[in-house]
Structure 1
Amino acid sequence: MIERDVSAPDGRVLHVYDSGYATPEGTVYWQHGAGMCGLPPAPLVDRADELGLRVLGHDRPGYGGSSARPGRSVADGASDLVTVLDQLGVESATTIGLSAGAMHALGAVARHPSRFTAAAVLGGPAPFGAAGLDWFAGMAEPNRAEFEAALLGRDALAAHLASDAAVDLSMFAPEDLQAMHGPYWDWQLDAAGTASPEGSIEDELACLADWGFSLNDIAVPVLVLHGAGDTFVPAGHAAWVAEAIPAAVLRLEHGGHISTIPRVEDALVWLRAQGDSGRVRVR
């Protein structure tokens, strides 16, 4: 991957990843999960190359090489995506969001549908307080405790993250425990190794706050992929999101939050089939 820094209009730095392929089939913008940097998985980049797709990504504020932006909303993240497209000369793209990156992918297509023409989301949450959804139902206790700390505010969440050093394996679905090997798992370990608490704090607070847009207003195609046994973000979230978006397709897969990550390659194929997007702007 080519790595570079670009400047946001307010002077913040955004650290960008670029596969460097100015290919005929378009551009896919990768949006990473919480607790990891924005480096796209190598198998995803390889599959994109086979499909004629360029892959972009960046560290969200507070992660890796990107400046923090305390108090940012999910909608605020969409403006950073547009900044990257503008500075790299890309007219439009599709986007894939993983876990916390899913809500940011939805923000991109909601706020900038002319720049982001389709989205695929994997393992993403529904807005907190979504009508008719028991937001915590089916969520493993360690994950629920973290969100409950976030509901008490930034300081409580920071203290919770600082005190929660040991990994509690009870938070993982059985399929996730079996998937802790191979190239996608190795990528997760690498991406998590460069993350900082600040990015996770900003993501979790943004998740629980008003996202700054309505899912009902999304008019472009959206693929909602989710593990039926997900214990981080229960599958009820995916069903709610798919129902709220007029042009959404829901696919529940066997597995949990970790074990379904390789399905991002299926998302690439689906996005490519959505038509002409991500062309390089002629200057």
Structure 2
Amino acid sequence: MAIRDKPKKKNPAGFTERQLRLLLNYCYATRQNPRMTISKIHKDYSSYLRRKSTTDIINKAYAKKVINGPILFVNSGIEVCLMNDVDNPREFFENCKKDEKTTLAFVSHGYWPIFLCKRGANTLQYHDSILPNNGCISDKKIENIFFEEKGTLPIDLYPHKWFEEQWNTYYCMKYPRNLTYKEAGKELGINWVSVREYFLEILKQCKIVTNFFPLGTEAYSPLLATLKTDYETGIVKGLKTLNRTTYLYKADNTIIFLLCVSPKPREQNYLIDKFQRLEEMGLIRDLHFSTPYDWHRAF
């Protein structure tokens, strides 16, 4: 009687460790080239023999919200507001959603009832989403994360020498895998060769954001943390050891990050305790937490 191999163990989102490694590789690859073809990804980053297997895993990951992006980001003049003096946070949040200048808004319980990003005075100093280290699939305990490197994050500058054509291309192709050059050209009223030329030009000044959540985004609970520190670059390196994306902002010399808390019991308690101990050690200061209960993102 033939002995069957044991089925590969899958996580709650339905992915094996091998598949998650492929998906994390995909995130890194599309950060290098957001229009990289599946054929190229399969050839350079996949351990599967059939290209269809690679394609099916990536499509399933998008459907399960294990990955999202790539998205182009540039500091187009973003005003960042942290507010703890709002009389009716829910009403204020609903008004923010109606404001076409709003790009991101959170309403929370905790120290900061409102976190708002909108087009206006350019107070955003830095933004990125932090991918896990390549190959970091295991769920490392938050209490084992340390920030050992001093350093200041670089400033995200307003784009240099962008004219109307570049801005139009940026907004049209902000999600660069959604449109072909020909489709974008039809939408913009220019030929596809010009679209490609403008796209490759703006790409030099854009960050490419692709995000990874091995359990799917719906499995995680958001936690907003703000702090000041001399270890800004150390924070980025430390958070890379988590197995999912963390969103990071800096404004008015304050680090703001949105942590995605795993569904493990007491995970949020461990996380808050870890950062409070770092504050007691003098590595960070002015530490505050908020728990978002609704949010709005618009591009």
Question: Normalization by structure 1: what TM-score?
Answer: 0.26
Of Structure 1 and Structure 2, the greater strand share is in 2
| Structure with the greater alpha carbon radius of gyration | 2
Question: Normalization by structure 2: what TM-score?
Answer: 0.25
